[in-house]
Chains A and B, each alone.
Chain A
């Protein structure tokens, strides 16, 4: 019984990590907390719903849809960065926060206008619709894909940041914004590309999440709440932190409903508050001066 709950918490944590990774990336390098990140996730999910109907069944087409939706979301990210974010890099945090919230509002209506208010469901792809049994416990095959995706994203990001030249630039922008701007690299272009990558990750997570549950208009808000908790617990600019935070929140959700179901909502925020009170920069973050 306990293992069942642990495993289901693990899956949700894996999904949360994929979503959060994009946010951590953009926050680290651009210093803007993009509240619309969850909205991009939602938009990608809805795009997947439409794309799936265009193509026939099959593993190739499934991954094609994943690819297309992620790219489209990344392009939208480019649009947002160029049109809006560029104007507020020097503005106070408050204005940045409010502006991205404005984008949240706009995107929620884009979804409503494009797909209506009903609930849409995307079935699991055929080649992943079976189940597997582990330790006497049956789980959908699809969950393995989520786990794999989290691992791939984690490894991919690590490789990008630590083994490529692009990674050096990104890390420089994250650790020392002022010095990097005097190094002769085209900062604005890098910003756009990093934001596009972050948005693409949001898109990827949106696509992967679609077969798990129906799509509905409130999915951005729910995910945004969870994202806050994850990055605060883990540390706002830290990828390992995001992994840890996502894992913790996944487990809290899984076991919370067993302990005090009505109050289960509170566990995530309680954890968030505790971390903020004793170690505000997160479990794996770094204190800024």
Chain B
């Protein structure tokens, strides 16, 4: 009998089983673990969503943005400021987040996407820092360095469990949308732009427009992730705009594999675990993270899932 492990259909089947299994576990999580872990997984899911949004640019369109946390921060603060200071109801605030994510990424993207790789990276970084400076300066509105705390969230998402389900369901929807986008003809064009921009340019398509679209979609979902995080923690802080967070997300995507769809999921999960749990075991978590980063770059440049995928392909030979 033909070795069934090599059969493409078997691979697809086991992949589906794995994903479904994980999905079911996540659905039942509050029944399985303590509230503290439920909270931890809620945070992890937000990071996963943010990493996925980022990877649309990085892994699928070949755009290295260093300012993506700007949209996370804007999403978080839009929700926080509206509900805490303007006493706007939660649903309206959330809708505003969608608008803000779209508009801000459109504006920033318009200026940035026309430039090449390293300049694009620095431009996005500069814009992120400027947005950070503006948010910092508006102390009466945003709390500046102190951040916003005790943000009122709608009763239905106030408890740990309900917050978890809200974050989970929204993220699943976003993930599904991103999956569809990545696997669509539009996604193929993005991949082509990543791999061979000149060829795409040659065929008459305007690369700038597609890059801008990728940027805006990424910013849109990034802002949603920020708002989810604020709903979860009932607070918003300037650290959300920071380069440390950006570096961790970048690392998460790399770790998982930027050329795979689920890579950022795996990578973000590991990075969140490292970030939240490592601090308890060692004072020198930065060194450990640094060493891990270096090891990953040298040993697993394609990331974990990239490595597994390659192994899988070679196995099937």
Given contacts A221-B243, A269-B126, A277-B111, contact A88 B297 (CB under 8 A): yes
Q: Separation in Å of the B98 CB from the closest CB of chain A?
A: 26
> How far is B128's CA from A272's CA once the two chains are assembled, in angstroms?
12
CB proximity to B under 8 Å, residues A200-226: 221, 225
Instruction: Name the residue among B117, B127, B254, B287 with the largest chain A CB count within 10 angstroms.
Output: B287
> How far is B137's CA from A232's CA once the two chains are assembled, in angstroms?
25
Q: Does B270 contact A (CB under 8 A)?
A: no
**Interface window among A62-70, A102-110, A131-139, A169-177:** A102-110
Nearest A residue to B118, CB-CB: A93
- The reply to whether A94 and B64 contact each other, CB–CB distance below 8 Å, is yes
> How far is B291's CA from A84's CA once the two chains are assembled, in angstroms?
11
Q: Separation in Å of the A35 CB from the closest CB of chain B?
A: 9
Q: Does B294 contact A (CB under 8 A)?
A: yes
- The reply to whether B126 and A280 contact each other, CB–CB distance below 8 Å, is no
> How far is B250's CA from A113's CA once the two chains are assembled, in angstroms?
26
Q: Which residues of B contact A107 (CB under 8 A)?
A: 290
> How far is B127's CA from A272's CA once the two chains are assembled, in angstroms?
9
- The reply to whether B117 and A93 contact each other, CB–CB distance below 8 Å, is yes
Total interface residues on B, CB under 8 Å, equals: 40
Total interface residues on A, CB under 8 Å, equals: 39
Q: Separation in Å of the A95 CB from the closest CB of chain B?
A: 5
Q: Separation in Å of the B257 CB from the closest CB of chain A?
A: 13
> How far is B298's CA from A252's CA once the two chains are assembled, in angstroms?
40
> How far is B278's CA from A34's CA once the two chains are assembled, in angstroms?
27
Nearest B residue to A33, CB-CB: B118
Given contacts A98-B293, A109-B290, contact A272 B284 (CB under 8 A): no
Q: Does B17 contact A (CB under 8 A)?
A: no
Q: Which of A228, A260, A266 contacts B130 (CB 8 A)?
A: A266
- The reply to whether B297 and A280 contact each other, CB–CB distance below 8 Å, is no
- The reply to whether B297 and A109 contact each other, CB–CB distance below 8 Å, is no
Q: Which residues of B contact A95 (CB under 8 A)?
A: 254, 297, 301
Q: Separation in Å of the B267 CB from the closest CB of chain A?
A: 12
Q: Does B119 contact A (CB under 8 A)?
A: yes
- The reply to whether A270 and B115 contact each other, CB–CB distance below 8 Å, is no
- The reply to whether A265 and B129 contact each other, CB–CB distance below 8 Å, is yes
Chain A interface secondary structure, helix, strand, loop or mixed? helix
Q: Does A286 contact B (CB under 8 A)?
A: no
Q: Separation in Å of the A1 CB from the closest CB of chain B?
A: 24
> How far is B64's CA from A270's CA once the two chains are assembled, in angstroms?
20
- The reply to whether A276 and B139 contact each other, CB–CB distance below 8 Å, is no
Nearest A residue to B298, CB-CB: A87
Q: Which residues of A contact B102 (CB under 8 A)?
A: none
Q: Which residues of B contact A113 (CB under 8 A)?
A: 284, 287
Interface string of B283-313 (1 = CB under 8 A from A): 1111101111110011001000000000000
Q: Does B247 contact A (CB under 8 A)?
A: yes
- The reply to whether A276 and B126 contact each other, CB–CB distance below 8 Å, is yes
> How far is B292's CA from A103's CA once the two chains are assembled, in angstroms?
10
Q: Which of B122, B250, B286 contacts A276 (CB 8 A)?
A: B122
Q: Which residues of A contact B130 (CB under 8 A)?
A: 266, 269-270, 273
Given contacts A113-B284, A273-B126, A276-B119, contact A105 B293 (CB under 8 A): yes
Q: Does B136 contact A (CB under 8 A)?
A: yes
Nearest B residue to A264, CB-CB: B133
Q: List 16 A-B contacts (CB under 8 A).
A: A33-B118, A84-B298, A93-B117, A99-B297, A99-B298, A102-B290, A102-B291, A103-B294, A109-B286, A221-B243, A225-B129, A262-B139, A263-B137, A265-B132, A266-B133, A270-B130
Point out residues on A near B: beta carbons under 8 Å: 33, 84, 87-88, 91, 93-95, 97-99, 101-110, 112-113, 221, 225, 228, 232, 260, 262-263, 265-266, 269-270, 272-273, 276-277, 280
- Closest 3 pairs (CB-CB, A-B): A105-B290, A102-B293, A109-B287
**Sample of 5 more A-B contacts, CB < 8 Å, known A95-B254, A269-B133:** A94-B64, A106-B290, A112-B283, A228-B125, A273-B127
